[in-house]
Amino acid sequence: MVNLEVSLAGVSLKNPVIPASGTFGYGREFSEVYDLNILGSFSFKGTTAEPRFGNPQPRVAETPCGMLNAVGLQNPGIDSVVAQELPNIAKIFHGPVIANIGGSTAEEYVENCRALDSCEQMGIIEVNISCPNVHCGGRNFGSDPKSAAQVTAAVKAVTKKPVFVKLSPNVTDIAEIARACADAGADGLCLINTLLGMRIDLKTKRPLLANRTGGLSGPAVFPVALRMVWDVYEAVDLPIIGCGGVSSAEDVCEMMLAGAGAVEIGAANLKNPFACKSIIEHLPTVCERLGVTKISELTGGAHRE
């Protein structure tokens, strides 16, 4: 019997499989097709202080081995999430959940995280620093070590929940950003967010996305995500949630060998609503093939060979 339990900064999960923010909503639709309580956790839709309607359409485009999205953090706002979505989540999922938080200023991140601090079911706050910083010419917080550290420290000052900072891959040295977040007090890291990309419609000779560019996700980005998890595991002593193109139990184990303590599944959920369920069911077989009785033993294993 393989033990699939893992721990992230003191938060115990029954297995390392976590649907990623933006691909699972608040769980309601998926709860209609399978019992969400088989999951380790799930990261709900990216939330901002005020409601957002997102970017104009079209905002999704297919690519070989993946997809582009420019949804634009459409969400009902933090007050609605706390008052309505969290009580609904408690009815369909009984484990600790992960809140994905965005913002345009450090103050907005603080406001959101303060609102979630007293919510009992919140296990981890996942701070998405791929959002544009309106005080720095629109550059993402995650593209600059000082900005990343600023947001991390500000959030840590207002919440007792473990704070995992979600890192952008659209940087020169992701390990440098990871070290800045670690030094500012982050409890863990999540990586990677989507890669910046675009497509052009040959009929109209215009970008397929109304926003022009979007985030590339899906199997095409898996090798990039794996390499970055490896680099960050070498750079900091923090738990890592690996994310990016994971679509099978084998991918989960590979990501853990690179250094992840748990793994988020993103675009695979949009292609197959049963993706996470299937991965969880196949994990014991893959672990047995790898000769481990505790899946947590895989974390960082490739660094020890």
Catalytic residue among 65, 113, 119, 131: 131
Does pLDDT of 225 surpass 80?
yes
Question: What is the C-alpha to C-alpha distance for residues 118 and 133, in angstroms, rounded to an integer?
Answer: 27
Taking the CB of residue 248, how many other CB atoms lie within 10 A of it? Answer: 18
Domain ranges (residues) in the chain:
6-55+77-195+216-304
Q: Which two tokens stand for residue 136?
A: 């720095």
Q: Which residue has the tokens 């019992």?
A: 35
For 47-56, write each residue's pLDDT tens digit. Answer: 999 999 999 9
Question: What is the C-alpha to C-alpha distance for residues 50 and 112, in angstroms, rounded to an integer?
Answer: 10
For 65-116, write each residue's pLDDT tens digit. Answer: 999 999 999 999 999 999 999 999 999 999 999 999 999 899 999 999 999 9
**How confident is the model over 156-181, as a mean pLDDT?**
96
Question: What is the C-alpha to C-alpha distance for residues 78 and 211, in angstroms, rounded to an integer?
Answer: 25
**How confident is the model over 259-268, as a mean pLDDT?**
98
**How confident is the model over 163-190, as a mean pLDDT?**
97
Question: What is the C-alpha to C-alpha distance for residues 164 and 175, in angstroms, rounded to an integer?
Answer: 15
Does 190 qualify as catalytic in the annotation?
A: no
- Mean pLDDT taken over the chain: 94
For 146-164, write each residue's pLDDT tens digit. Answer: 999 999 999 999 999 999 9
**How confident is the model over 54-61, as a mean pLDDT?**
93
Beta strands, E only, the chain: 6-8, 11-13, 17-19, 43-47, 60-63, 66-69, 97-101, 122-128, 163-166, 188-191, 195-197, 200-201, 206-207, 214-217, 240-243, 262-265
**How confident is the model over 197-212, as a mean pLDDT?**
95
Does pLDDT of 28 surpass 80?
yes
How many residues comprise the chain?
A: 305
pLDDT of 247: 97
Question: What is the C-alpha to C-alpha distance for residues 192 and 182, in angstroms, rounded to an integer?
Answer: 16
Reported pTM: 0.96
Question: What is the C-alpha to C-alpha distance for residues 286 and 290, in angstroms, rounded to an integer?
Answer: 6
pLDDT of 136: 44
Sorting pLDDT into bands at 50, 70 and 90, what band is 131? low
Q: Does domain 6-55+77-195+216-304 have CATH number 3.20.20.70?
A: yes
Does pLDDT of 196 surpass 60?
yes
Does pLDDT of 133 surpass 90?
no
**How confident is the model over 212-234, as a mean pLDDT?**
97
